[in-house]
Structure 1
């Protein structure tokens, strides 16, 4: 069984069967189902959806100052109940929501589901109330505590984004001709570095947990061959590589961090693989910045503290007492 994010339409059949059988399928759509911030999760067994839950950005009245998500539509197919599927979906969701900076998850829990939510760390808030045609409910909430594993994943994702941002700000300053410029014949142009990084990302992060990071169909040497692309083609290929990376990182949970993956048959924990690629990408982005500075000279827009301005920068950040 695997748990993964699905689209809103994929929740409707099981939502209707287990929770809203008195309604039509179309009436099982919830407000917020199609909001970009909403997260729909499913437990899938042999391509069949056997459990679902949806999470909506919505304040918890019991804790209004904290960023909160509401859990709705939690359902497990009656044929698969009693196998902790709901608990696994909640645990998976909590990791995803922590990564978004969510502090509280809450729900309107049916009376018969009270013990299920209590087992999963939720507590009752307020008095019992009725929802017409459905029955008695309690508001239940759970604070999401930060964990070391989640903090690591959040931090490494931010680090990769910071690396990419520096490269993007440098690339934006350069013309297509400058992207193809090489200091001399034994060095790479920025376009070649971009091509190499994207090729590496496609190879390393595709099917990351289940296949070697050096894919058999990768043609690494071709990444260093200079051939002409338009700026749009170059940026499209660049973005697709980063998208592959960020999509994979967002799918990881803290339970994956000590799993073993290989790169050219060399074993790494997931932590080690992430650190290895962070070092690799930052070194190449450093090359991009160096070439850009050579090309633009006085016209270069600094991406860090300008030369000779450290003291004034520190005073702005740390005050006159520094």
Structure 2
């Protein structure tokens, strides 16, 4: 059975590490704000195996007009489970969560390689390309 449920920050590290920080120390998977009470972490389970993760941080971008905002960060699906709709399910789950929080806007720093996926989810680019050191080129995007 496939389910999405709330998890703690530490549970995200294995998937984050495999997908987003491969070859780097696992400590690089710990993000500022991971353990704040307002931060939400979600895991996608397939037959009780964690195969995808996403986190929402109560963080604002000056590129977004809505005063209620969450940053989507650390969204990752194991390579062996990509292109199965898991990323879309996590994205939509997070978007619905944001809407349930007084219609908060969800924004994120998208890796260049992930921009086509996010565009397929109707997200819009809100910035020029920028580099996150040791990670690569990104764009600020917002869900619509």
Deviation digits for residues 211-255 of structure 1 (CA, Å, limit 9, x no counterpart)? xxxxxxxxxxxxxxxxxxxxxxxxxxxxxxxxxxxxxxxxxxxxx
Per-residue deviation, 1:95 = 1.6
Q: Distance in 1 between matches of 2:88 and 2:128?
A: 24
User: For residue 110 of structure 2, what is the aligned residue in structure 1?
Assistant: 109
Deviation digits for residues 23-75 of structure 1 (CA, Å, limit 9, x no counterpart)? 22223100010011111011101111101111100112112442110011110
Given that residues 99 and 105 in structure 2 are in contact (C-alpha distance below 8 angstroms), is that contact kept between their aligned partners in structure 1?
no
Greater relative contact order, per chain length (Cα 8 Å cut-off, separation 6+):
2
4+ long deviations beyond 3 Å? none
Taking a change above 3 Å as real, the CA distance of residues 56 and 96 of structure 1, as seen in their structure-2 partners, is: same
What secondary structure sits across from 2:98 in the alignment? helix
Per-residue deviation, 1:22 = 3.3
Matches within 5 A, 1:1-322: 1-143=2-144
Given that residues 44 and 86 in structure 2 are in contact (C-alpha distance below 8 angstroms), is that contact kept between their aligned partners in structure 1?
yes
Deviation digits for residues 98-117 of structure 1 (CA, Å, limit 9, x no counterpart)? 11114211111011100110
Q: Distance in 2 between matches of 1:102 and 1:61?
A: 17
What secondary structure sits across from 1:96 in the alignment? helix
- Residue ranges of structure 2 left out of the alignment (5+ in a row): none
What secondary structure sits across from 1:138 in the alignment? strand
Q: Which has the higher strand share?
A: 2
Q: Distance in 2 between matches of 1:17 and 1:65?
A: 33
What secondary structure sits across from 2:143 in the alignment? strand
Per-residue deviation, 1:19 = 0.4
What secondary structure sits across from 1:126 in the alignment? coil
Given that residues 69 and 102 in structure 1 are in contact (C-alpha distance below 8 angstroms), is that contact kept between their aligned partners in structure 2?
no
- Residue ranges of structure 1 left out of the alignment (5+ in a row): 144-322
Question: TM-score w.r.t. structure 2 length?
Answer: 0.94
Q: Distance in 1 between matches of 2:102 and 2:23?
A: 36
User: For residue 252 of structure 1, what is the aligned residue in structure 2?
Assistant: none
Q: Distance in 1 between matches of 2:56 and 2:24?
A: 21
Give the RMSD, CA atoms, in angstroms.
1.2
Q: Which has the higher helix share?
A: 1
What secondary structure sits across from 1:27 in the alignment? helix
Bigger Rg, structure 1 or 2: 1
